[in-house]
Amino acid sequence: MSIAHRAGEYMLSDALLPDPNGSSAKGLRLELPCDRMVKFVTVGLPLLLVSLAFAREFSAGSQINCFSPGNFTGKQSAYVDAVCWDSLLHYDADIVGESRPKSLWILKVFPYSLLMIAVAMYLPYLIWRYSAAPSLNCDLFFIIDELDKSYNRSIRLVQHMVKLQQSGTDPDELWEEYDKARRERYFEFPLLERYLTCKQRSHYLVGIYILKNLVLLSFMAATCLYLGYCHMSVFFQDEFSCSIKTGLLQNKPHIPDSVPCKLLFFSVFQTISICLGTVYVLLGPIVLYHLFHLFQWDKRLLSIYEMLPAFDLLSRKMLTCPLNDLNIILLFLRTNISEVKSFSRLSVLCTLKDVTADKESIDTVVDFMTLLAGLEMSKPKPFCTDGNSG
């Protein structure tokens, strides 16, 4: 019998979580996977496209090709190209026959506008990083630490019950004392429970998160409108008439009023704008879909922690509107589930509980660990048959 007791003690000591050597707050992820993916695409894609545009510009040299008169020398033709590239004015005759200039400067500043788009897309994440991330980091670190401590308290309670049984305490008296303690709710975790309840009445994190996504959506919509305006105004104007009677050629009688010019990078800018606009249009519903997740509770993590004694109060308190900081914290707890050491242990116990024949006698991790440690569960708990405490 002593060997069996010793084996039970070893099993319970192995179930305890080791004390962390250092703070795990530095390893917490303060961005949801969807937000990280959207940031990578919205910020990285304009930078990639603008690098391709600049690479095309540096490799091709001149970005414009003007058809100068045949009597022009090479230097005069280069001068005409430079004048037309600096002005980028298209002279088109209207219905009356008068020539009206149309500016094509959007084509010149288009690569730099992509840089501005990338900077604008990063601003919402700066808002989240400096406004909400420090507070969220403290919340997650405290909750994760308390969850692991609550699990260890349950295991130490089982160790204490094993020692009482070894000292000769009557099993019926032991279980009556345990049932009384559960009915009086001595196993509640008031600090963590009240902290999470307080977070349910707070709306700071969820407000910053919604603001960040709304700013991101507005920037994406503004970018799509800008790209549409570029297409409607100049992105179908690859050829234009340029007036060269300026500067040194202003008083030359043999110089024509305008020469035809062709933009060499026109197809590249068209492709870039179509790719960027299409990606942003597709990302919009994804951002909205994840915003709608804030309107429903994520109870997957807390359903596992209902194995802890009296921890089911958390589920009963989540009956108000889910649009609060507690729901945001639960989403980030799921993202940082690898930092919650007790989650994997409780998940295994829940799985074993589901395949156990006598499920009515198992409600908490204390019940299951006492069964594994060899204590006889002779008194079924009538107030646990529905899965909740009485």
- Give Cα 343 to chain centroid, integer Å: 22
DSSP reduced 3-state for 247: helix
Comparing 5-9, 31-35, 322-326, the range with the smallest average pLDDT is 5-9
Q: Percent of the chain, pLDDT > 70?
A: 64
Q: What is the CA radius of gyration of the chain?
A: 35
Look up residue 244 and give its two tokens. Answer: 């060269």
Mean pLDDT of 329-350: 85
DSSP reduced 3-state for 290: helix
Which among 68, 66, 73 is positioned nearest to 88, based on CA atoms?
Answer: 66
Residue 293 has pLDDT above 90, yes or no: no
Q: In the prediction, which pLDDT does 389 show? A: 40
Which among 215, 208, 161 is positioned nearest to 365, based on CA atoms?
Answer: 161
Residue type for 203, please?
H
pTM of the model: 0.78
Torsion of CA 87, 88, 93, 98, to 10 degrees: -20
CB count, 10 Å around CB of 301?
Answer: 17
Close Cβ partners of 18 (under 8 Å, ≥ 6 residues apart): none
Q: Which pLDDT tens digit goes with each residue over 229-270?
A: 887 776 666 666 777 766 666 666 667 767 777 777 777 778
Residue 196 CA to residue 191 CA, distance in Å, equals 9
Look up residue 365 and give its two tokens. Answer: 């991790």
First to last CA, the chain: 35
Q: Is 261 exposed, middle or buried (0-12, 13-18, 19+ CB in 10 A)?
A: buried
The residues that bridge with 369 in the sheet, in sequence order, are none
Q: In the prediction, which pLDDT does 83 show? A: 74
Residue 25 CA to residue 133 CA, distance in Å, equals 12
Residue 266 CA to residue 108 CA, distance in Å, equals 11
> By the 8 A CB rule, do 353 and 223 touch?
no
- DSSP code of residue 63: S
Q: Which pLDDT tens digit goes with each residue over 58-103?
A: 766 667 777 777 667 777 777 777 777 777 776 665 555 556 666 6
Q: Which pLDDT tens digit goes with each residue over 183-226?
A: 655 566 667 777 888 888 889 999 999 999 999 999 999 999 99
- DSSP code of residue 18: P
